[in-house]
Amino acid sequence: MGTAFIFPGQGSQAVGMGKALADASAAARQTLQEVDEALGQSLSRLMFEGPEDALTLTSNAQPAIMAASIAALHVLEQDGNIRLADKAALVSGHSLGEYSALAAAGVFTLADTARLLRTRGDAMQAAVAPGEGAMAALLGLDRDAVEKVVADALAAGPGGEVLAAANDNAPGQVVISGHKTAVDRAIDLAKAAGARRAMPLAVSAPFHCALMQPAADVMAEALGRAAMQAPLVPLVANVTAASVTDVESIRRLLVEQVTATVRWRESVEAMAGLGITRMVEFGGKVLGPMVKRIAPDIECLSVAGPADIDAVLKAL
């Protein structure tokens, strides 16, 4: 039975995240302290106590989600006396979760991952002026139908707008991103095309589209300076939905990921095709439901709190 360790992305943050693990485990406390020291702030206090609006800021949410994920992994490894390389055949993550996956697989140090995600969050937030961009979830349309909606919305506009599929999360669950005017038209067109729901998302910037190119440029420079090691196990990358182990390829894909579609549905399908029959999500319980919609036969487990540790250890 092949197992993949998977890591959630932005939107999985919540006040109180990581606190129960930190209260119960020295491994979690040490992980969060290391992130605090790397960033020069008490991010853990913000995770535990809020306020929510500060935690939700992209520059805080991205390293916080990673910290909670890696803390959960370290607790599992310490309590169970296991190593990722012995229990996981692959790692993968959703958007920023790809950085968590790479930290878990030893590509980046924990401190470098935290600093890279702070840089990424700041750059993504600064890439587009407030109010200029937007994102929307289109439910009930497949990827091809969404691509037609995107094309029609752009054709109906003044020209020069950006609009793209940002996240292909699961069958009938695609997120679009781009200029707000184009997203608004696409919402109306999606409803006319039979979408079950088409709704704007409460996000601070239009992620994973060409409007994020300034952030991609920042990350190209930051990643160019970052120390990287070969992963302990292959990564299934967002951009390609294929496994990769070459460090320079991973570096390039992380830059491309800022503006490219998160191909999560295809990534899960690819992992199933590579023999994965179980996925363990670290730091949240948001990817499991998507996985079950994509590949119902895959067993989904999660490590979000102390109560999850024993069940996952028994399964592994």
Give the residue numbers marked as catalytic.
95, 208
Picking from 223, 232, 280, the residue whose alpha carbon sits closest to that of residue 106 is 232
Report yes or no: 167 and 208 within 8 Å, Cβ to Cβ. yes
Structure tokens at 243: 């496994």
Picking from 277, 280, 289, 232, the residue whose alpha carbon sits closest to that of residue 76 is 280
In the block, which residue shows the tokens 């990817």? 287
Q: Which residues contact 45 (CB under 8 A, 6 or more apart)?
A: none
Distance CA 100, CA 107 (A): 10
Dihedral class, residue 6 (left if φ above 0, else alpha if ψ from -120 to 50, else beta): beta
Q: Which residues contact 175 (CB under 8 A, 6 or more apart)?
A: 135, 136, 137, 138, 165, 166, 167, 169, 201
How many Cα atoms within 13 Å fall on the side-chain side of residue 240? 13
